[in-house]
Amino acid sequence: EPEVTQTPSHQVTQMGQEVILRCVPISNHLYFYWYRQILGQKVEFLVSFYNNEISEKSEIFDDQFSVERPDGSNFTLKIRSTKLEDSAMYFCASVRVSNEKLFFGSGTQLSVL
């Protein structure tokens, strides 16, 4: 089965630093997402991306967050100035068309110290 790949698997950073989380969605998929999961809590939607632009974002996705698809394969999430509360598992996901099975990557565990 095709897979969404994410790097790195773990990222430790100091508060105030910038981090970039990387994802390679499945090649024929058109919709891309970032979700996050704080330890022991539910999976929360951050942002969706379609046709090279943000299609929807949640309240969590404030000015400190940005997404990019710099080339035909990578999809990145940048946090400009990390806060302690940004510590979470960040999942990238993709789907060929909406209302189909959403494929999740294995996640990046971000720890902000």
**Selected binder of other proteins within 11, 13, 22, 45 (CB under 8 A):** 45
Using the rule CB under 8 A, is 111 a contact of other proteins? Answer: no
The whole-angstrom separation of Cα 93 and Cα 108 is: 12
User: What does DSSP say about strands 19-24 and 75-79: parallel, antiparallel, or unpaired?
Assistant: antiparallel
Q: How far is the CB of 5 from other proteins (least distance, A)?
A: 11
C-beta of 45 vs 65, nearer to other proteins: 45
| Only segment of 18-26, 43-51, 66-74, 76-84 that touches other proteins (CB under 8 A) | 43-51
Helix (H) or strand (E) holding 10: strand 10-13
Query: With binding defined as CB under 8 A, does residue 33 bind other proteins?
Result: yes
Contact 47, 58 (CB under 8 A): yes
- Among 50, 64, 65, 76, indicate the residue that binds other proteins (CB under 8 A): 50
Structure tokens at 93: 């996901």
DSSP symbols for 37-60: E-TTS--EEEEEEETTEEEEE-TT
Residues at the interface with other proteins (CB under 8 A): 31, 33, 41-45, 48, 50, 55-56, 91, 98-99, 101-102, 104-107
